[in-house]
Amino acid sequence: MKSPKNILKEFKKFIKQENLIQWNDKIITAVSGGIDSTVLLYLIKKTSAEYNLTILAVHINYNLRGEESNENEQFVRNLCYKWGIPLVVHHVEIKEKSNLENKARKIRFSILRDLLQKYEFQKIALGHNKNDQAETLLLNLFRGSGIGGMKGIIPKSKDIIRPLLALTRNEITEFAKQNNIEFSEDSSNLSLIYDRNKIRHKIIPEIEKGLNPKAVDKISNSARIFQQTDSFLQEYCKEIFPEIVKKTDGIFILNVDK
């Protein structure tokens, strides 16, 4: 594990390597109040002077956990006030509870992109880490995904950036502890009714215990290889497509020999 003092350095190295942040960027940071998004906000704040960043925190209260949801919102309000970061809070209600994760995700992205346009910001920063990457790849694998799903979570997709993908959950936890970063626990992260939580709390720990203690790193590295492979195939196909397929009078002709 990287020592806590190097986490900020690793963070800066990753955003430079993946070209995630540029000078004068205006970044919306989604803050649930959990450890990942809280540490993400802290690290972006620490990096803001170097890149002359404008930061806006956004918290979405789905009102799914009663008083706990309100306490979570108040925690984020207090944190942003303490750190001097402007905050926008949205309250939503999901009436139909089937496929809840997917519905919440769609609502989240809709709100974040509306704010991006409204305030003329360039990027939305999300707090996915290496463990999320490993969980996503396994979920997609078990569901029968092709190479597209094996890519897992990519560091940058249009206006979305994920600067924590270079860090494991253990590294983030240790960093928060060493820097006295408070966060709010979400009890739904422990519930085994969600497929991701089954992988997080049952499957990956068994793999780490019985097969490879560095399984998260290895799976995350595999996702990176799939990302690079997919990128190469996409670019190569664009390059050779004009030689293989010709369009004449609205008809596409395939050169079988080539």
- Give me the mean pLDDT over the 61-85 stretch: 93
User: Would you call 56 helix, strand, or coil by DSSP?
Assistant: strand
What is the rounded average pLDDT of the residues 42-55?
A: 97
d(CA 115, CA 27): 11
The answer, yes or no, to whether residue 10 has pLDDT greater than 70, is yes
The per-residue pLDDT for 214 is: 95
DSSP β-ladder status, 26-30 and 54-61: parallel
The pLDDT assigned to 97 comes to 67
Whether pLDDT at 129 is above 80: yes
Mean pLDDT of 143-156: 91
The neighbour count for residue 51, using CB atoms within 10 Å, is 16
Query: What six digits make up the tokens of 127?
Result: 């707090």
| pLDDT tens string 90-117 | 999 887 767 777 888 899 999 999 999 9
Q: What is the pTM of this model?
A: 0.89
What does residue 238 show for φ and ψ, rounded to 5 degrees? -60, -40
The answer to whether residue 135 scores a pLDDT higher than 50 is: yes
pLDDT at res. 4: 47
More confident of the two residues 240 and 95: 240
Q: Are 134 and 153 in contact (CB under 8 A)?
A: no
pLDDT above 70 for 55 = yes
Task: Kindly report the average pLDDT of the chain as a whole number.
Answer: 92
Strands 156-157 and 160-161: antiparallel
- What is the arithmetic mean of pLDDT over 219-232? 94
pLDDT for 150 equals: 92
The mean per-residue pLDDT over the stretch 33-44 comes to: 97
Is the pLDDT at 147 greater than 90? The verdict is: no
pLDDT band at 213 (very low <50, low <70, confident <90, very high): very high
Those residues with Cβ within 8 angstroms of residue 192's Cβ, 6 or more apart along the chain or in another chain: 198, 201, 202
When pLDDT is cut at 50, 70 and 90, the band that residue 224 belongs to is very high
> Residues 148-161: what's their mean pLDDT?
93
Q: SS3 for 137? A: helix
Location of structure tokens 């509306």: 114
> What is the pLDDT averaged over residues 196-222?
94
Contacts 24+ apart (CB under 8 A), 6-13: 7/43, 7/167, 7/171, 7/172, 7/175, 8/43, 8/46, 8/47, 10/166, 10/167, 11/43, 11/47, 11/163, 11/164, 11/166, 11/167, 12/47, 12/50, 13/166
Q: What is the pLDDT of residues 157-167, one digit of tens each?
A: 999 999 999 99
Mean pLDDT of 5-11: 87
Contact 152, 188 (CB under 8 A): no
- C-alpha dihedral over 30, 190, 201, 225, to 10 degrees? -10
Better-scored residue on pLDDT, 207 or 191: 207
CA distances 7 to 85, 97, 185, 218, Å, are: 22, 38, 22, 19
Give the model's pLDDT for residue 232.
94
